[in-house]
Amino acid sequence: MLRLRWSVLAAVVLAACGGCSMLPVGPSHSPLPPGSTATPTMGATPRPSPTPHRTPRPTPRPTPRPSPTPAASATPKSSASPSPTPTTTPVGQVSIRFRGVGFDSPDATTPTERTLSFQSDGPGTVTVTLGRTSAGSVRMCLWQGNGAHRPGDCKSLQRGSLREQTRAAGTTWNVAIEGLDIQTQSIADVTLGFPSSAPSVTFGGFRFQGVANPGSNGLEAEFTAASGPISVDASWNGSRPWRSTLSNGTTTLVDRTGRGNSLRMTARTSGGRIAVDLTETEDYTTQEVFINGTIAWP
């Protein structure tokens, strides 16, 4: 039946185009033997061409870059060379004791303070110590600088010390002592302590009244010295007979006598305990004589 339909269709087409040749349209079929039923031949189902399988390339991982090590900050170089640290030479504590110093009472003919002055050569403690007085009380003052003392620098006592701290070299210190009791002469030892590498003490207002006036006849001083030169300079008002000695322990370095209004005494010591003694050799003098001077030691 199908075959008949195709034949009729072909005849119609040929008639229409005037016998032109036709290419078969549709699939060609082989003739079937008579009495056979045509079985339609199914065209092969086209298989899709396999898409070539592409192996995926691994996504490259970025190679981690090492974090840059921060460059060390360059220490700025000073254009100037560093100043060397100054070296400080330790300054030792020295002391000197004035033995048996007498202090004027307020009713003396000319009441005069006994004075001592010196310089500290470095930081340390400055002290002035009064030994027990023979009688009565005194006013003792300690202050620094070149001016006069103030009330706050002084203390009334029969025995005791005044103490100050010093921080700078070249500081001048002063001591002044006077008696407080009428018709009473107080006598006591006075000791100074201060830091110094080349100690020197200036004394003033000491009386020079003869051997019959203990406490009012020159001075006696004791101190410990290193090896080196010792000097004593003194002057007083009027021409008076005098004697001066300088001893190193039991050895007498200087023993001099004279008459006049001044003296200078020098000696070298190998170190040790030094004693200075300066007196007016008359028994007594009615004239008021005051001695001033300086003692220096290594």
Task: Residue 161: give its domain's CATH number.
Answer: 2.60.120.380
Domain total in the chain:
2
Q: Which of 163, 197, 231 is the last residue of a domain?
A: 197
- pLDDT tens for 174-200 read 999 999 999 889 999 999 999 999 999
Query: Does some domain include residue 208?
Result: yes
Residue 61 is predicted with a pLDDT of: 60
pLDDT surpassing 50 at residue 232:
yes
- Judge residue 169's burial from the number of C-beta atoms within 10 Å of its C-beta, 0-12 exposed, 13-18 middle, 19 or more buried: middle
pLDDT surpassing 70 at residue 34:
no
- pLDDT tens for 63-102 read 556 555 555 555 545 455 555 554 556 689 999 999 999 9
Percent of the chain scored above 90 by pLDDT?
64
Query: Does some domain include residue 48?
Result: no
Same domain as 213, residue 166: no
Percent of the chain scored above 70 by pLDDT?
70
Which domain range does residue 260 map to? Answer: 199-298
Between 21 and 127, name the one with better pLDDT: 127
Residue 63 is predicted with a pLDDT of: 54
Q: Which tokens sit at 266? A: 């020098």
Between 286 and 51, name the one with better pLDDT: 286
Same domain as 205, residue 111: no
Among 110-114, 125-129, 164-168, the minimum mean pLDDT is found in: 164-168
Residue 67 is predicted with a pLDDT of: 55
Among 14-28, 143-157, 206-220, the minimum mean pLDDT is found in: 14-28
Residue 43 is predicted with a pLDDT of: 45
For every residue of 206-271, DSSP letters joined together read: EEB--TTSTTSBSEEEEEEE-SEEEEEEEEEEEEEEEEEEEEETTEEEEEEEEEEEEEEEEEEESS
Residue 168 is predicted with a pLDDT of: 85
The pLDDT-based confidence of 149 (bands split at 50, 70, 90) is: confident
